[in-house]
Amino acid sequence: MTTITAAMVKDLRESTGAGMMDCKAALTENGGNMEAAVDWLRKKGLSKAAKKAGRVAAEGLVAALTKGPKGVVVEINSETDFVARNEHFQGLVKMIAQVALDVGADLDKIKAAKVGGVTVEQAIADAIATIGENMTLRRAAALEVGQGVVSNYVHNAVIEGAGKMGVIVALDSSGKADELAALGKQLAMHVAASNPLAIDPAGLDPATVKREKDVLADKYRQQGKPENVIEKIVESGLKTYYKEVCLLEQAFIHDSGKSVAQAIKEAEGKVGGPIKIAGFLRYALGEGIEKQESDFAAEVAAASGQKKP
């Protein structure tokens, strides 16, 4: 039998907004499976969460760098937040982002690329030896358009172009580059704030859509609704869901009275041509990485050879 810990209950409560006892019951009913527990709460109308928030646990920096029609995001992790404020580490991150912009997002190619006579992989190893803390180039991704621009936005920037979250948005258009870049920056800020799953419904994972349909159907089935009514409610619910998770259908954060699609359409006159979002990438530092919680006081006491009082 799976042990339901207080930390598990806390994580579920934070990601769903449900009550503590409800979260404990959900986890118990589902053998500690967090995703299944979220669905269990939603089916009972106890959670408004459309998706579980990823637990951000790693340290380091995310860099977002663009140049004309291409851009990259990279994540370099460290053990502590202290290192993220280290100038040597910050320089390393900027260098790796520039290399990724030049050679592409393949991690092996980035590590093998030479800068100043040494490979990036060796530069990381040297930084580990100098700073005394483990570091890893965790991931990288790139976008490029044939014509148009790729714009970026960094949230909680520690240095220019790197911080706790990095976003790039690619706009395919023959319009004015400067106007496109400004629009792209606004869209990148929107992506950072709204965290869409796809550009439009066609881009969603079919499994994700099916899961949403099943949750909606089961919720109203438990309320005793007839099947023909449930089908209509589910279709209506999906439309609402799409407005929450699809970029073009989301309310634009800079003007909530219009959708992102409407904002882009209005911008086409200013830009001087049709605009298409070719893609977007959003990296939040440490998302998907679990890190064991530690007792800081105990660590300090252990380091000084004393016992925690």
User: In the predicted model, is pLDDT for residue 54 greater than 50?
Assistant: no
Q: What is the pLDDT of residues 13-45, one digit of tens each?
A: 877 777 788 888 899 999 999 888 888 887 877
At the topology level, CATH places domain 59-170+277-284 in Tetrahydropterin Synthase; Chain A (3.30.479)
Query: Highest-confidence range of 72-76, 80-84, 296-300, by mean pLDDT?
Result: 72-76
- The pLDDT assigned to 122 comes to 92
- The pLDDT assigned to 305 comes to 52
The rounded mean pLDDT for the chain is 87
Averaged pLDDT, 275-303: 72
Domain ranges of the chain: 1-53, 59-170+277-284
Task: Classify domain 1-53 by CATH number.
Answer: 1.10.8.10
Averaged pLDDT, 274-293: 85
SS3 letters for the chain? Answer: CCCCCHHHHHHHHHHHCCCHHHHHHHHHHCCCCHHHHHHHHHHCCCCCCCCCCCCECCEEEEEEEEECCEEEEEEEEECCHHHHCCHHHHHHHHHHHHHHHHHCCCHHHHHHCEECCEEHHHHHHHHHHHHCCCEEEEEEEEEECCCEEEEEEEEEEEECCEEEEEEEEEEECCCCHHHHHHHHHHHHHHHHHHCCCECCHHHCCHHHHHHHHHHHHHHHHHCCCCHHHHHHHHHHHHHHHHHHHEHHHCEECCEEEEEHHHHHHHHHHHHCCCCEEEEEEEEECCECCCCCCCCHHHHHHHHCCCCCC
* Calpha distance 189→166 (Å, rounded): 10
* pLDDT band per the 50, 70, 90 thresholds, residue 220: confident
Interhelix angle 34-43/6-16, rounded to 10 degrees, is 50
Q: Residue 30: how many CB atoms within 10 A of its CB?
A: 18
What's the predicted TM-score (pTM) here? 0.76
- The pLDDT assigned to 152 comes to 98
Averaged pLDDT, 244-263: 96
- The pLDDT assigned to 58 comes to 67
* pLDDT band per the 50, 70, 90 thresholds, residue 51: very low
* pLDDT band per the 50, 70, 90 thresholds, residue 55: very low
* Calpha distance 305→128 (Å, rounded): 25
- The pLDDT assigned to 294 comes to 46
